[in-house]
Amino acid sequence: MKQKTLIHAFLQNTQCIQCIKAYFIYIIPKIVNILVVLIGLVVIFKEQLVSLVKSILSKITEQSNSI
């Protein structure tokens, strides 16, 4: 009886592991695609992002000097 319980627990664990593997097989390409798109956007809009950050920091500096 105990051996059947151990086998049943092992099979459930194996199914769980297979489920996790299937999930990672599904989700990893999506994460890679999102990262590729984000890196592409940063490369395309690098100059605009740099100028935006510089202008925000300069405004913060100007306003902090007036306090």
Is the whole model's pTM more than 0.75, yes or no? no
> Reduced to 3 states, what is the DSSP secondary structure of residue 35?
helix
Q: pLDDT tens, 31-62?
A: 999 999 999 999 999 999 999 999 999 999 99
Say how many domains are in the chain: 1
pLDDT of residue 64: 86
Contacts of 12 (CB under 8 A, 6+ apart): none
Residues in the chain: 67
Of 29, 7, 10, the C-alpha closest to 18 is 10
Residue 9 near residue 16, CB atoms below 8 Å = no
Domain that holds residue 59: 2-65
> Reduced to 3 states, what is the DSSP secondary structure of residue 66?
coil
User: Two tokens at 51?
Assistant: 């100028």
